[in-house]
A and B are shown apart, each in its own frame.
Chain A
Amino acid sequence: MASDYTEILQRLCHHLKKFCEPNVEITPETDLINQLAIDSVKLLNLIMEIEDEFDISVPLNALADVQTVHELANLIHRIKYTEQ
């Protein structure tokens, strides 16, 4: 389970890099809003990429409690491994 999470985190960070400046360092604590400036349009793209990458569906209600990279990775993990 722990390694699944690590893998998800790595893959997620790979996608997040496309949404921010090249020199930004992304850690689990990185704030999606403040530090990566994910606005509502970028968010749509990000969700689409996440859904395609992980073959999951991300419900909107769950995003209301997501602010950091760790929280997003956790959500993906939860959806992916509890749904199946």
Chain B
Amino acid sequence: MIRQWYEPLSFSEWLRRTFSFLNIAVFIITATFIFSEFRFDWFENLVGSYLVSTNESRPETGAIWETGKQTSNAHEYLNEIISKKEDVRQNVHQAATFFDLASGILPGEWVTLEKQRFRTLYLTLEKSVALKIIESAQLVWLLNGTSLDRIFCEGVTGGIKIYFIDSENRVIKQIDLSREDILEIENSEKPVPGELSDMEGFSGRIYPAQNFFDAMFKLPADIIPDLIVNPESLLKQDGKIINIGIWNETENGYIKLGFEFEEPGGKQVVFIKGREWAVWQLSLNLKGDEN
């Protein structure tokens, strides 16, 4: 049924229509709505609760979160430094040889080593090789006769630096080891494939094994142990010694000797070191035999 709206024709109709039940109900509801909000703040609570429910899905933005991010960046960076340091420390502590120690520290990295650890690693070295790092007497003095606090190893381009430092961080002794030194330490006991005649440093000082040993046994018995200080690397070889060479330079009171072995796989040279004066005595015998 369609009802045509028309303007009230009388004042009473105007009043009746204005104060109709619907109008009064709408008015009361609206008024209650507004006043209850002022009284109970339900709208704020409603919106607040809604936002609490969406909190987890919202972004971490704003000044305080930025500060938080800066803090976590800082911690991340610091943890990175610490974990790198820890890795180096682990490597160094697991190092079985001096070579492992030296190759475990890259340029820019450093690690502090306890005295005992350094002593243990040093003692694994062959005496003549250990000299390349530090004189054993000097090490005894450093470890037992000074105010040495710890040993600080720092990786640098082309090698490592070892600082013996006291409790005030002052360097008592510094050792610079180049990568070549480290490689030499590593390879000191390993036989090198090839012949003595191909090695320039032995030129003119290569002797047949028989001549060498004949001359050696002519030496007084107490000199021979100083001639072949560490015979272990020679005893490990299965082949036959055919030639022995004497190096043309001395190093820390030692002279390198090269023993050329004939092995099934080809010729190999094993290097050992002999004390300078013992080698000199031997050379005299060798020259005498030649004359």
Q: Is the A/B pair a real complex?
A: no
Q: Which A residues have a C-beta under 8 Å from some C-beta of B? A: none
Q: Which B residues have a C-beta under 8 Å from some C-beta of A? A: none
